[in-house]
Structure 1
Amino acid sequence: MNKHKRMPAFIYTYACRMDERALCQMEMRSLFGIETKMNILKTDVKVNPSRSPFIKERIEVLFEGNDLSEILDQVQSIELYESTFKVNFVKINDLDKSEKIEYKERRSIERELGLRINGEFDFYQPDYEYGIVTMAGRWYFGNYRKSESIWFHHQKKPHEYSTALSTRVARAITNIAIPNPDGVQAIDPCCGIGTVLVEALSMGIDIVGRDINPQIIEGINENLRYFGFEGDVSCGPISEISEYYDVAIIDLPYNLYTHTTLENQLSILKHARRIARKVVVISIETIDQMIEDTGLEIIDRCIAKKGLFSRQILVCE
C-alpha cells in the first residue's frame, strides 16, 4: 500500500442571497462537516453538486501548485488523443478585490492550459471538462462539473400551497436531514403538498410521505407523477405510524394557518421522537421548550428568511 497516496480533494463554489446565508452554511455543515464564510470550500467529501441549491460547481482536484506555472507543467501529462475537452476558469474564489482576475486574463489562462493538453478542444460538447481555480494562495486544476438547478424545475406543480416551503429551501432541508442517503430510510409524516418528497425523490432518497388530510393525498400523488416519481404516500395521523425510520422531516403545522393547537404540535413531536432516530423540524415559532419536553435535543439550527417571513430549521436527536 502506498503510504504517500494523496487523499482525494474537491473544491466547491457557492452562491446564495444574504437571507439564505444561514441556511446555506447549515447545509455545508451537514454535507461536509465544516462551513466557510467564503463562497468557496475545499474538502475530501464528494457530493454531486446538483444536490445543493447553493453549490455552483465542483472541481475534483488532479493537480495543485503554488503558482499557475506549476499547473501548466503538470497538465502536459494529460493524454486525451482524439477525445475532446474544455477548460473553465472558475470565477468564484477568495481573492481580494484588488487581486481580481479579469475576463481577458481568465480566457488567456484557459488557452494556455488548453495548448498543453493532448486532445481536441471543443467549447460546446466536450468529452471532458476541466476547471482551474485559485484558493488560499494555491492553484488547483481538475475534473469540472457544473451544478444543474434541478430544484428550479420543481417550482411549478399541479397542486400548490401558498404557505409551502420553496423548492430551494426544501432541497436544502433535505440535504441537512439526509447528507448521506445510502441505506437511509426517511419519512415526511406531515408532507402537505409534497414539496420535500419531490426534492428527496429527485435525489434518489428512500422516503415515504404521510398526511392527515385525505383531501390532499391525490394532489400529492399527482405532483409526484407530474415529475415522474413514484411515491409511497399514506393518509393518517403520525400517531398511527408503527415503523421506525432513520430520519423524520417535519414541517410543523402552523396555528397561524391551520386549526392545529400547541397540544397537537407537541403530540406530533413526541411521535416523531418515537418513530425516528433523527428529527428535522421546521417551525415559524420558537419551540425550544416544546422540543425539550419531548426528550429531543437540538444539535444544530438556523433561521431561513424570505422577506418578513422566517422559519426556524432545527436538527434534533
Structure 2
Amino acid sequence: MHYLYTYSYFNEDELSLCQLEMRSFFGFDTQELMIESSIRIDPSRSPFIKERIAVMYKGHTLEEIVEQVKTLTILNSTYKVIFIKNSQLDKSEKVGFDARRMIERKLGLQIKGEVDLVQPEVLFGIMQTKEGWVFGEYCKSEAIWLHHQKKPQGYSTALSTRVARAIVNIAVPDNKEIKVIDPCCGIGTVLIEALSMGIDIIGSDRNPLVCTKARENIAHFGLKGEVILREIQNVNETFDVAIIDMPYNLCSVISSEEKLDMLESARRIAKKVVIITIEPIDSIIEQAQFKIVDRCEAKKANFVRQVIVCE
C-alpha cells in the first residue's frame, strides 16, 4: 500500500521545519506540497499534512480509474466519494466545480455498496496529479494542535503548539515503545502535544512554579502525564529520546559551562536528543560527544530557533 499526502504551510518561514518533519517521517523531503510513501502516518499528527489518500488505483486517465473502481465492493459500511483539489496543477489542468461533482457521482455509482452522502463510514478520494489520477481511501487531518493553544497557563517565550507538534514528530516519528523525556518542560507545551499522540513521555523542570503550571495545562486537556521537580543533572533513568528547549529568557540566562553540563547530562540519559536553541551551540554539542545528524530553522518573522537532531 502506498499513501499520498498533501501538505500546507503558512509561509516560507515554515518550510525548513516542515521539510525536517518530512525527513523524519519518510526519510526524504520535497518542496512540493505532495509526497508519496509506503509509510502510514496519521495526518492529524502533523501540523503540515492536510490529508492522506491510501492509493488503491492509479491511471493515466479518469476512465482508467472508472474501470478499476468497478471491481470495488464495500460490505457492512456506507461510503462517499469526494474530489480532492490539487493546488499544484496549472490553471488549465484544474477541474471546475460542476465537473468535480460529476466525477464524484460517476465514480460513486461504480462501487458496489451503500452510498451515504451525509455521514459516510468510509470516504474515498479521487485526485488529479501531474502524472494522471489516483483513487483511494481518504483521511483528512484534524488540527489538534490548534485546540491546545488555549491553555490556562501561558508563557511568553514558550514554543507555539504548531512548532511543538512538529518537533515531537521530528523526535519521535514512530512512537512504538519509545520512552521520551522533556527535562526542561516549562509549562508543558511539548508534553501536551506528545501526550495527545499517545507518546510515552515524562517532563521535569527545576522551577516548582512552572511544574505546577505544566500539570494544570496537561489536566486541562484531559491528558495524564508526569511532571517532576528536578534538575536535568538529577535524572537517573534512561530514555530513547530527550527534547530540550534550551533556556534563553532573561530569567534563565545560563553560561556555556552550564549548557555543556545540561547536554552532557542529556548524553548520559538519552540515545537521541532534539535541541531547540536561539544561540549557536554546535561546538558545545560536539563537546558533549553528540553527532549532529539533521537540523532546520523554525522562524517567526525575525525570531529564529534552531532545531538540531543529535545522536
Q: 1:104 Cα shift? A: 2.4
Report the Cα offset of residue 93 of structure 1. 5.3
- Contact 2:295–2:308 at 8 Å: present in 1 too? yes
Q: How does 1:39-58 map to 2 (within 5 A)?
A: 39-58=33-52
Find the counterpart in structure 1 of residue 4 from structure 2.
11
Structure 2 equivalent of residue 287 of structure 1:
281
Secondary structure of the residue aligned to 2:307 is strand
Runs (5+) with no aligned partner, structure 1: 1-7
- 8 Å CA contact 1:253, 1:265 repeated in 2: no
Give the alignment's TM-score, normalised by structure 2.
0.96
Q: Distance in 1 between matches of 2:76 and 2:231?
A: 60
Contact between 2:191 and 2:201, CA under 8 Å: does it hold in 1? yes
SS at match of 2:55: strand
Per the TM alignment, residue 159 of structure 1 is displaced from its structure 2 partner at its CA by 0.7
Contact 2:239/2:269 (8 A) holds in 1 = yes
Could you list the per-position Cα deviations for residues 62-116 of structure 1 after superposition, in whole angstroms to 9, with x for gaps in the alignment? 1112211111011112223674211121113542333222222222211211121
Q: Give the match's secondary structure for 1:77.
A: coil
RMSD over aligned CA atoms reads 1.4
2:230 partner amino acid? G
Change (3 A) 1:286 1:102: farther
Q: Secondary structure at the match of 1:116?
A: coil
Identity of counterpart residues, as a percentage? 54
Residue 240, structure 1, aligned to residue 229, structure 2: no
Q: What is residue 5 of structure 1 aligned with on the other side?
A: none
Q: Which residue of 2 aligns with 1:125?
A: 119
Aligned to 2:284, what secondary structure does the other structure show?
helix
**Using the alignment, how far apart are the partners of 1:309 and 1:45 within structure 2?**
33
Aligned length: 310
| Counterpart check, 1:109 vs 2:103 | yes
Secondary structure of the 2:169 match is helix
SS at match of 1:229: coil
Q: Name the structure 1 match of 2:80.
A: 86
Paired with 2:75 and 2:199, the residues of 1 have a C-alpha distance of 39
Native 8 Å contact 2:85 2:128 kept in 1: no
Q: Partners of 1:38 and 1:100 in 2: how far apart?
A: 17
Structure-1 residue corresponding to 2:270 = 276
Q: Which residue of the partner structure matches residue 208 of structure 2?
A: 214
Equivalent in 154, 160, 177 of residue 160 of structure 1: 154
Find the residue that maps to 2:252 and give its secondary structure.
Answer: coil
**Whole-angstrom CA distance in 1 between matches of 2:254 and 2:281:** 15
Q: Which residue of 1 aligns with 2:129?
A: 135
Is residue 298 from structure 1 mapped to residue 292 from structure 2 by the alignment? yes
Name the SS of the counterpart of 1:169 in structure 2: helix
Compute the TM-score of the two structures, normalised by the length of structure 1: 0.94
Q: Match of 1:104, as an amino acid?
A: D
Q: Is the 8 A contact 2:13 2:300 kept in 1?
A: yes
Pair 300,82 (structure 1): closer, same or farther in 2 beyond 3 Å: closer
Equivalent position to 2:19, from 25, 31, 42: 25
Return the match for 1:97 from 88, 91, 94. Answer: 91
* Cα distance in 2, alignment partners of residues 92 and 289 from structure 1: 44
CA distance in 2, matches of 1:53, 1:200: 13
Residue 52 of structure 1: CA displacement?
A: 0.3
